[in-house]
Structure 1
Amino acid sequence: MYQSLKKELDNRVIVSGDEGYNQKRKVWNATIDKHPGAIIVCKSEEDVLKAVQFANEKGLHMTARAGGHHVGGFATCDEGIMIDLSQMNTVTVDQGRQVALVEGGAKLGDIDAETQKFGLATPTGTISETGVAGLALSGGLGYLRGKYGLTCDNLVGANIVTMDGQLLHVSDEEHQDLFWAIRGGGGNFGIVTQFEFALFPVGPEVLAVDVMYDYQDAKQVLLKAQEYMNQAPDEVSFNLTVTMLPPVPFLPEFLHNKKVVMLGGMYAGDPEVGKAVVKPLQEFAYPIVDQTGVIPYVALQKKLDAMVPDHVAVHGTSLYFSKLTEESIDLLLAKLDNAPMPTYLAQLWALSGKMNRISPEETAFTNRDSSFVLLLDYMDMGAGPEVCKQWVDSVYDGLLPLSNKGTSYLNGIGANETVVKNTLGVNYQRLAEIKKKYDPNNRLRHNHNIQPAE
């Protein structure tokens, strides 16, 4: 079936039994174990066009792999085609336009490494190994969200291969419906081969907030975090992470197997001015460690990489909250106290500033009125998949009535039709119409799927 395509693409079509197949089909989350009919390794837009046209001829569904970092394993599938963009990772800075041209397979570290040569950055996430494609298409939360918005908010253009085998350039002037849809509607509408992101002066050094509190002070810390958020300036974005620290050599012994609340963040402005602004973040309780200081922006962007090692079995969920209340905090902490094993990362990301001043209808990304989002990752270190899933689901179900309209950050939760409809809300029907126009056969279905309108 794939022989002609193999010849056309210099044997860059990998099928079961070929060398490298089992490695290539792996994604970040080890709970995902799928077997594509073929993996097509693309080096150019022309390769992507050929892959999509081939899939159309054969009536095959497909996925696009950039970083393969989504908890839902959306980069892969059973039997269909995986279009592997990982070798398309070039980043070019257009200084005249203040724009970064980013190929679809680039990772966040690729973007930061190139843009920081010019003292520039675009809002991305906080794990350098994440692929920009999945991040941007469903939002993009990072340390610049308060000052400059989400990754998708700073997309000014893109090249996209549609399911009828066309290569389109989309922007505010061209194919506006598709451009609107890919800013929050996920990978439902085509395969993005190049992104164009607006750039801003950032770094090369920034003020990074890095404080660790004892878990016994967790409730106080979370309540004070909400209080701070009520008046936070745009320049400040921070995340709170509740976890048990592992007994690893790079941590001092007194922190081994200790439950803590880590507060990590950034001041997007003059570090000297920022020191007074972030001071309250360092005083939510008595800090057991405080490494707040000025560091390279690229170092900050890689700081959390060690917390999310590759190919670990992870069960994840997410919910937005209008605000953190005593009730929601008590419920979350009670759930964490009763986890089968303390192998979780429970993150609460503070949301404010530019990202929340954009109208819900301006882009497909709808949630613009929350002050925190929960991202819960539970690593299966022996509890077993059923136990892990049951516990994660119990956290979601317990907090759902206290959430902001049952919405979730789609980059942090697995496939769920109800979650997608709740989250995309007022934009869902418009997205379904655009889906019908650009992917009427739903070939791109291994995602937070939007069904084509009837």
Structure 2
Amino acid sequence: MEYDVSIEKSGKIILPNHDLYDDKRKVWNNRFDRRPAVIFECKSEADVVSAVNYANDQDLEVSIHGGGHHLAGTAVCDGGVMVDLSNMNKVTVDKERQIAVVEGGAKLSDIDHETQKYGLATPTGTVSETGIGGLALGGGFGYLRGKYGLTCDNIKSVRMVTAEGELLHVNEENHSDLFWAIRGGGGNFGVVTSFEFQLHPVGPNVLALDVMYDYKDVHQILNRLKEYMITASDEVSVNLAIMQLPPADFLPEFLHHKRVITLSGMYLGQLSREVEETIIEPLVKLAEPIMDNTGIMPYVQLQSKLDPMVPRGVSFDGTSLFFKELTDEAIQLLTKAIDESEVSTIVQLWALHGQMNRTSPHDTAFAIRDANYLLLVDGEIPDESPAKCTEWMDSLYKKLEPYSHKGASYLNGANLDHEIMLKTYRDNYRRLADIKGKYDPKNIFCHNHNIEPA
């Protein structure tokens, strides 16, 4: 394929014979080995416009690489145009307006390190290497969800390049239909080159929850957690994870290969003896802890603490489901599947409450506003028997789906599946399809949980 270099702006055009090609097409999940026809390494909005125009001229599909962190490897495509935003990562803070202007290729760490200079933050995720673009457009769950909502709830405006190569400024007043759609509708509608996020007072230090329990107490822990969350403060967030520890040197020998439950999260409010007794102590006493490292730490440190759980260059499969309640039957099925698993898995259960659930399901495209728990499951695909992981994951999903909240999943943590997407968007899907038909009628932005143009 010949390429007219006259349309190159400030970035690079990377073809399959380029020295950087193999490195640039890699994504976090080593499960995917896709080969784009061309990679536009963008450094400006003009580069993004050029990439989209080229895709139109050559009748090619487009994938968008921000952080490249989606489970389904959506950042890279076979035979199409990959728009690489990783060099567009500038973050600018307006302290007076409490607004952050964030380029589309920024990672969560880029945002936190800049906003924390002013004692401010916007809700993001819990792994600092995640790209803000995919996270924000698909929802965005983090430690601030109870107090300040989801990442998508804090988008004030965006600049984006549409399927026709047009650069738009999108907010409540300008292209309000598109503004509604991008807050939960994913990368279906264009390439977001920059965001404006609402900032809130956070840090620089916060109380970080960090407790480890023995897996044998799982039923007691889950039942006590359910009781706790009924009256939980907006200022607290609770993420539970079940995993088998590796025989690592930094762990005492009695923990090698041991299955444990970890409790992580944070408390955002002012500390007092009453807060410690009523809000913190119940969480560190769900059972007899193996260890309790709960304490004050910098917010930026908390935001990167889980990075080792999702190392780059490993092959993963995964699934997710929302739950209104954790019934005894669902807990029994989940723990039985964990007990019988022959693959390395991390099963996370995040308690949902507060501001994120007070938003109407129709105010943004993100429709799941009435669930109380989010299950996220990741499994490492073994080289010697890759089918084992996928079969276990599919089996777990099928067993738990009848107990879930209307079969809805968190699409940022789910493989591509049209039926799952329909269940998740619910009544919002028809409106999303109409907006997709208006802004991307040829469906060039299809490497995502794809909404078909009406």
In the superposition, the TM-score normalised over structure 1's length comes to 0.98
Greater CA drift, 246-255 or 354-363: 246-255
Give the C-alpha shift of residue 274 in structure 1.
4.3
Q: Helix, strand or coil for the counterpart of 2:187?
A: coil
User: 278, 281, 286: which is aligned to 1:279?
Assistant: 281
- For 1:301, the equivalent position in structure 2 comes to 303
Aligned to 1:364: 365
- SS across alignment from 1:361: coil
Q: How does 1:204-223 map to 2 (within 5 A)?
A: 204-223=204-223
Read off the aligned partner of 1:402 and give its amino acid letter.
Y
Distance 1:6 1:20, change over 3 A: farther
Is 2:444 the partner of 1:443?
Answer: yes
List aligned pairs for 1:44-59, cutoff 5 A.
44-59=44-59
2:325 is aligned with 1:323: yes
Match of 1:336 in 2: 338
State the Cα deviation string for residues 354-406 of structure 1 (Å, max 9, x = none).
Answer: 00010000000000111101000001234522121111000000000000000
Q: Which residue of 2 aligns with 1:23?
A: 23
- 1:175 correspondence with 2:175: yes
- Report the alpha carbon displacement of residue 282 of structure 1 after superposing the two structures with TM: 0.4
CA contact (8 A) 1:89 1:103 kept: yes
Matching residue of 1:265: 265
* Aligned twin of 2:134: 134
Aligned mates of 2:66, 2:199 — CA distance in 1: 21
Q: Which residue of 2 aligns with 1:227?
A: 227
SS of the residue corresponding to residue 374 of structure 2 reads strand
What is the CA-CA distance between 1:300 and the residue it aligns to? 0.3
CA offset digits 1:45-68 (Å, max 9, x no partner): 111011111111111100110000
**For residue 241 of structure 1, what is the amino acid of its counterpart?**
A
- The aligned counterpart of 1:119 is 119
User: Distance between the aligned counterparts of 1:102 and 1:446, measured in 2?
Assistant: 23
Q: Deviation digits for residues 96-126 of structure 1, max 9, x if unmatched? A: 2110000000000000000000000000000
Range with greater deviation from structure 2 (45-54 or 378-387): 378-387
Instruction: State the partner residue of 2:380.
Output: 379
Give 1:247's aligned residue.
247
Question: Secondary structure at the residue paired with 2:368?
Answer: coil
Cα distance in structure 2, aligned partners of 1:247 and 1:200: 40
2:423 aligned residue: 422
1:179-198 aligned at under 5 Å gives the runs 179-198=179-198
Contact 2:11-2:40 at 8 Å conserved across structures: no
Going from structure 1 to structure 2, the CA distance change for 1:2 and 1:222 (only over 3 Å counts) comes to farther
Q: Partner of 1:84 in structure 2?
A: 84
Of stretches 135-144 and 221-230 in structure 1, the one that deviates more from structure 2 is 221-230
User: Which residue number corresponds to residue 397 of structure 2?
Assistant: 396
What's the secondary structure of 1:158's corresponding residue? strand
Aligned 8 A contact 1:92 1:100 in 2: yes
Q: Which residue of 1 aligns with 2:162?
A: 162
- How far the C-alpha of 1:33 sits from its partner, in A, is 1.0
Amino acid in the other structure paired with 1:404: H
| Contact 2:99–2:199 (8 Å) recurs in 1 | yes
After superposing the two structures, state which structure 1 stretch, 270-279 or 386-395, moved more: 270-279
SS at match of 1:239: strand
Using the TM superposition, give the Cα deviation of residue 18 of structure 1 relative to its aligned residue in structure 2, in angstroms. 1.2
Structure 1 residue 346 corresponds to structure 2 residue 347: yes
Counterpart of 2:151? 151
Indicate conservation of the 8 Å contact 1:229/1:350, yes or no: yes
SS at the partner of 1:3?
coil
**Equivalent-residue separation in structure 2 for 1:47 and 1:410 (angstroms):** 28
Question: 1: CA distance between counterparts of 2:381 and 2:251?
Answer: 22
SS at match of 1:23: helix
Q: Which of 309, 312, 333 is the aligned partner of 1:310?
A: 312
Partner Cα separation in structure 1 for residue 291 and residue 69 of structure 2:
30
Q: Is the 8 A contact 2:124 2:150 kept in 1?
A: yes
Distance in 2 between residues matched to 1:95 and 1:317, nearest whole Å: 39
Cα distance change, pair 37–181 in 1 and its aligned pair in 2 (3 A): same
Q: Secondary structure at the match of 2:188?
A: coil
TM-aligned CA deviation for residue 6 of structure 1: 7.0
Say how many residue pairs are matched.
452
Aligned residue for 1:37?
37
Secondary structure in structure 2 of the residue aligned to 1:368: coil
User: Does the CA-based 8 Å contact 1:340-1:383 persist in structure 2?
Assistant: no
Native 8 Å contact 1:2 1:13 kept in 2? no
Distance 1:377 1:58, change over 3 A: same
CA contact (8 A) 2:11 2:43 kept: no
What is the CA distance between 1:424 and its match in structure 2?
A: 0.3
Deviation of the 1:426 alpha carbon: 1.0
Whole-angstrom distance in 1 between the partners of 2:43 and 2:27: 20
- With the length of structure 2 as denominator, give the TM-score of the two structures: 0.98
List runs of 5+ in structure 2 lacking aligned partners.
none
Counterparts of 1:400 and 1:186, CA distance in 2: 23
Return 5+ residue gaps in structure 1 as ranges.
none
CA distance in 1, matches of 2:348, 2:38: 36
Say if 1:6 and 1:12, in contact at 8 Å, map to a contact too: no
Q: Deviations over 1:165-198 (max 9, x none)?
A: 1110111111100000000001000000001100
Q: Does the CA contact (< 8 Å) of 1:6 and 1:13 recur in 2? A: no
Q: What is the alpha-carbon distance in structure 2 between the residues aligned to residue 38 and residue 315 of structure 1?
A: 27
Gap change, CA 1:16 and 1:218, over 3 Å in 2: same
Q: Encode CA deviations 1:70-117: one digit per residue, 9 max, x unaligned.
A: 000010010001000000000000112110000000000000000000
Write the distance in 1 (CA, Å) between the matches of 2:43 and 2:49. Answer: 11
CA separation in 2, counterparts of 1:243 and 1:37?
39
The separation in 2 between residues aligned to 1:353 and 1:11, in whole angstroms, is 43
Q: CA deviation at 1:11?
A: 7.2
Task: Report the AA paired with residue 353 of structure 2.
Answer: S
Residues 4-29 of structure 1 deviation map (CA, whole Å, 9 limit, x = unaligned): 13772467111112101111111011
